[in-house]
Structure 1
Amino acid sequence: QQITTRRGIVLGRLASEQRAHEVDVMQFCFNKLNLEIAARIPAPGTLEGGDFFPAGEDLSICGVGLRTNQEAVDYMLSNKLFGTRRVAIVRDEFDCCQDRLHLDTVFNILTPSFCVAWERMLGDSSEVKRIVDEYVLDPNSHEYEKKIEGMEFSAYLQENGFTIIPVRDKDQLQYGCNSLCIGNGRILAVNEKVARDIVRTPNFDGTIDLVDFSAITAMYGAVHCASQVICRGP
């Protein structure tokens, strides 16, 4: 229903008409909690929380595909709602599958140096690859300009210093990518196989807590889907 960027809480607009009123409910709750709302995405934009990842002080990552559209991204860029100098838009143009409806079903940031990603989408020859457009805030015009267009996602991640831990098809379908970083290298994971792969990765020095989330994964979600940050550092 919302994302929280370095600018604050941004209320989304859900792609499913049946769920549209959920955003109204969250706006009511945030108002009751005296939490400031930075913006709300207007039609025809659609923005859902599973497509957004903060990636440090300089970079935001946002997926565009089945649920979040380019109109929402354009609105956020024009209103400086990401709050970072760089914004990477990860486009799902070749897969568009309900099993991978959000970016957090195929990708997740574990630490500033490590991430997990669905193995089959990696590489420029993949038939289900994701491609990246990067926008950079111009210091003179104070507008975002597209500096990278159509770069393959894993190449972009590696260029930005990430070691990618691949997640197999079976584990992706069991929400192996849908983990949650709760700070200081501590990760909540719902898939045992992926959790073991992470801790066995050379130079990974975080900690993994395996959580039984089967009641939630049965409803098409996991720990990242079921959480929401309401405040980020400036």
Structure 2
Amino acid sequence: MKATTLTSHSEYLPLESVFIRPAAHAFTDAGALASQWKALNFLAQPDLGEALRQYERFESLLGQRVPEVHRMPLQEGLSLDALYCRDASIATDHGMVLCRMGKPARQGEPDAHREIYEAMGLPILGQIEAPGTLEGGDVAWLDRETLAVGHSYRTNAAGIEQLKGLLAPLGITVVVADLPHFLGPSDVFHLMSILSPVDRDLAVVYSPLMPISFRNTLLERGFSLVEVPEGEFMSLGSNVLALGPRTCLMASGNPKTEKALRDAGCGVLTYEGSEISLKGGGGPTCLTRPWKRRAALNG
């Protein structure tokens, strides 16, 4: 039997430990939904009861397959967007990196993450400071020594340089993908809106919005690409959470992408996300802050 270790430097290895912020701790009541959704650029006001039901199903799927699911508590001063807990921090084997949010309404989230991590005794590797901005949705591990970062309206050049400064001494290379304007500064458009690694050599992508040089980098690294069709991009077809190699969790309503994943040898689980994902633009990678994944010591 292979000896194993735990790592934060992967998007696809078997997920052992993950943080989530339950819908009840972000969509706190109907009044908060009514007062915030427009200003936060949600597509429509989520229905609270249905959002709680959908999240219960989502959390149940995680709990059946992930040994440790850490539920972030109710914390004051956060917006509806706090549901998408990936964005406020980055997990590394050397400690957590606290982000600085590019969306002003989310500025309080990194300190909320710090409070949780310090209470658990987790080390803090560093924090992005002004004028830098960096959001976790723009960050994805390509392998254990290579981190891809999207240069977007949410993550700026100063934030990327600070991240490089934290990681370079640890032997980690940062690959930058310059993202397009697309729908502009007010839209939620991250690197992981168009990229989801689901195995060592397989990634779900939406190529029409992917920088050519970055797409070529994936191909040069040996990735095969599951291409999301145009009609399934806005329904979050390219935002897929790997629970393990080729074991995928995705929002329902993307049948062509789901079939392409199955044709590539993947097992696929789906959840209904009309209220917790589609209206706020955050799929299953956004709803989770993966912390530790299981790896063979020599694998």
Q: Identify the TM-score tier after normalising by the shorter chain.
A: 0.7 to 0.9
Q: CA deviation at 1:58?
A: 2.6
Query: Please, which of 248, 253, 258 is the counterpart of residue 187 of structure 1?
Result: 248
Q: CA deviation at 1:112?
A: 0.8
The answer as to whether partners of 2:239 and 2:285 remain within 8 angstroms in 1 is yes
The 3 A distance-change label for structure 1 pair 84 and 71 is same
The 3 A distance-change label for structure 1 pair 173 and 115 is same
Q: CA deviation at 1:99?
A: 5.1
Instruction: Name which of structure 1's ranges 76-85 and 64-73 shifts more when overlaid on structure 2.
Output: 76-85
Matched, 1:173 2:260: no
Q: How does 1:17-166 map to 2 (within 5 A)?
A: 17-80=104-167, 83-93=170-180, 95=182, 97=184, 101-121=189-209, 129-130=210-211, 152-166=213-227
Higher helix share: 2
Distance 2:206 2:171 in 1: 26
Q: CA deviation at 1:192?
A: 3.0
Q: CA deviation at 1:193?
A: 2.6
Q: Hey, what does 1:144 align to over in structure 2?
A: none
TM-score, length basis structure 2: 0.63
Deviations 1:22-48 (A, max 9, x none): 111111111122221111111111111
Distance 1:225 1:102 in 2: 10
Q: CA deviation at 1:62?
A: 1.0
Instruction: Name which of structure 1's ranges 87-96 and 215-224 shifts more when overlaid on structure 2.
Output: 87-96
Q: Secondary structure at the match of 1:195?
A: helix
Q: Secondary structure at the match of 1:228?
A: strand
Matched, 1:210 2:270: yes
Matching residue's letter, 1:211: Y
| Greater relative contact order (Cα < 8 A, sep 6+) | 2
Q: Secondary structure at the match of 1:79?
A: helix
Q: Hey, what does 1:219 align to over in structure 2?
A: 280
Distance 2:241 2:211 in 1: 21
Identity in percent: 24
